[in-house]
Chains A and B, each alone.
Chain A
Amino acid sequence: MDSSFDLARTCGAILDALDTGIVILDGECRVAIWNTWMERATGLMQVDLAGRFLWEALPELADSRLRGAVGDAIQAGASSILTHSLHAQLLPLRLPDGRPLLHNLIIRPLPVGGAGGCMIQVNDITVTVTRERVLRERRDAKYRAVVDTAQDAIVTTDTAGTLQWMNTAAERIFDFHSQEAIGKDIGLLLSAGDCAHWPRDHDALTMNEEAMQPVELVGQRRDGTPLNLELSLASWRSENRVFVTGILRDVTERRRVRDALEQAVADKTVLLSEINHRVKNSLQLVSGLLNLQMASIEDGSAKALLKDASDRIAAVARVHYRLYQSDRFSTLDFAAFLEELCSDLAEASGTTVCDLVLEAGALEINIDHAAPLGLIANELITNAIKHRDTDPAIIRVSLETGPGGYALTVSDKGPGLPPDFNAAKSRTLGMRIVTALTRQLGGKLDILPTGKGTTFRVTVGDNQHDVPRQTDVPPRITSGENAA
């Protein structure tokens, strides 16, 4: 008997020594034990509570989940936990300094005196909760400073595409409060067509570098206004779970500027094309006027001079024609130009008169060089046709390009030049045009030795045709005799 008495006393002493709250209720929910820890935390004494119904002593618990859990334990033998996370301040517990004591409850069935009963264990988790909060705040401080001040929307979803979080900028850009948006699908913020850009399920788990490249897409505000956005994605892991975070930059303004720029370029293209067209038309008109005038002139030599002038103007007109035929305005496809020029000149002089062979490699020529070189080609070919001694005149035109520049060669099988011929000193207009324009191009005019006929070669160095150069200087052709 003595030993069992001692055991009961020892048990009571242990309960009071425990650093946890212990309440034992009998089968009728009357307080059997209320340990010292509970007395300290509630200010209620065991002597006052013993034998009283718990709900009577603490009436605020009468309708709580604790009562249900106690009932389940006593009547059905069920154990329960009541956590701080789902029930803030379940019992009126205070720390010595008066702050609320945060706690979890464990309720287990416990036979008391042969009948059913239960034990309520109260665990103080104030320190744990506070420490977690402090750690979290410390961990999040820097991160918050970045995301909350960011100008771009930042949103996070789980792998199912359900919104978990959004920053202040996202709230502003999409006009949603985060509380409304969280828990909804990401489709809330994206247009139906672009929703697929957001990775889900398997895609979210296996995101690679390529998937993280920024893409442009269309999002929508609360009122349905479309937003042009650039989306950059990243996936990350927390507690063994994968989340997807996207940074959505509002590129509406950038897009507007880009569209405006593209439009301006398109307008300019049309304008340049139009200008070249008009210049060509005007030059053709001038050339046509000269032809008209030619028809009314009896003098054969004057007629020939007008014909030459008209052809020269037509050659320049052709340069402008080629310029608006292509969509490049700063360079000219000179091979195509030569082909046209040759076929027109051959046609104009008649196939029986002229046998023209063109060998031209591809050459894109700077627009500054286009008109002078076009005129040079026109003069040299026309000259060869004019000074033929056989019918048909056999003329070879070649255009060679190399790393150092390009060369235009025109050769014929005509009578050849007089032995004392000096191109620089020639007084014919044709030769003066060729020498002056070659000089303007920074090129060199050579007369190559040939068995029969004449070969002119114009060589232009690379630096000359690569570097676009604005020339305001018109070709200076010193006036002299009007000899062709």
Chain B
Amino acid sequence: MNDGIDAEDEGGERLLTELERDALTEVINIGVSRAAKNLSRMVKDQVHLSVPRTEIMTRDRAVEWLSRRENSSLVAVGQDFQGSFSGQALLIFPEKTSLELVRSILDDTLPLEEIVDLEQEALAEIGNVVLNGCLVVMANMLKESLNMSLPRVMRGSSQVVLLGADEEDPGEMVLFLTIDFAVRARSINGYIALLMDLPSITAIKTLIREYVRGFEES
């Protein structure tokens, strides 16, 4: 995410300070490494997941940014969450690398047709592991309880994936993270998007501020 997203333009800076954003990135990194641990156990091999940076922008801006970066079709695993902050979590891949990801997670010896058949199911579960990892750690660290739905798989353009059926609520913000998967000597890049409305962002901001303060006091 170093190719110049202007979070400031979108009021991202006003929503989260640099310090708060770093704290959130750290929380998500802990969640992601928990997910990596789970995936490693499933794959019986090392899986490294890392989230280099977090950005915050409007949903429209996120659609534009993602379509500029990935011109092919996308696959996304989505889960809804509800609690003191609510919204939708998405794990997004370019369609062509999603097959690579599934192949690297599944048994390498499986023939292509079989992998294509299993892809949907496997993607749903991989997404489930990663997103639950992030959300559970966020909930735990922020001492909040969330209710998280089962995963669903979506395919299409960044528009379809990020906006879904409802194109209302332009105020909704997206917490956008790139995620790097390193599995069995392959490196696969994807994105995590947390879509939340302004009240949820405000709630998260409050929680993070408390979390940071907790550190400062201790």
Contact = CB atoms under 8 A, between A and B. Distances in A.
Interface stretch (B3-11, B18-26, B54-62, B134-142): B134-142
Nearest to A165: B112
Interface stretch (A51-59, A76-84, A279-287, A430-438): A76-84
Nearest to A106: B150
B132 A78 contact: yes
Nearest to A88: B107
Nearest to A238: B116
Nearest to A125: B121
A72 interface: yes
Question: By DSSP majority rule, is chain B's interface helix, strand, loop, or mixed?
Answer: helix
A65 interface: yes
B150 A75 contact: no
B122 A68 contact: no
A77 B145 contact: yes
Contacts of A65: 38, 41-42, 129
Interface centre among A79, A85, A165 (most CB of B within 10 A): A85
B169 interface: no
A139 to B, nearest CB: 8
Contacts of B38: 65, 68
Given A156-B112, A238-B116, A81 B96 contact: no
A87 B42 contact: yes
Interface in B40-70: 41-42
Interface in A43-70: 65, 68-69
Given A109-B147, A240-B155, A86 B41 contact: no
Interface residues of B, number: 46
Interface centre among A76, A80, A81, A82 (most CB of B within 10 A): A76
Interface residues of A, number: 38
A104 to B, nearest CB: 8
A83 B155 CA distance: 20
A460 B66 CA distance: 81
A132 B117 contact: yes
Contact of A183 (B125, B126, B186): B186
Contacts of B104: 183
Contacts of A162: 100
Contacts of A109: 147
B149 A81 contact: no
Interface centre among B117, B125, B139, B146 (most CB of A within 10 A): B125
Nearest to B145: A77
Contact of B42 (A79, A86, A108, A165): A86
A256 to B, nearest CB: 35
B2 interface: no
B95 interface: yes
A241 B113 CA distance: 12
A179 interface: yes
B99 A158 contact: yes
Contacts of A220: none
Contacts of B145: 76-77
Contacts of A234: none
Contacts of A86: 42, 105-106, 121-122, 125-126
Interface string B180-212: 000000100000000000000000000000000
Contacts of A136: 113-114, 117
B164 interface: no
Contacts of B103: 182-183
B108 A80 contact: no
B150 A108 contact: yes
Interface string A99-112: 00000101011000
Interface of A: 65, 68-69, 72, 75-87, 104, 106, 108-109, 132, 136, 140, 156, 158-160, 162, 164-165, 179, 182-183, 238-241
Given A81-B124, A162-B100, 8 more contacts: A75-B136, A76-B139, A81-B151, A86-B122, A165-B112, A179-B108, A240-B73, A241-B96
9 contacts: A76-B135, A77-B83, A77-B139, A80-B128, A81-B125, A86-B106, A162-B100, A182-B108, A239-B116
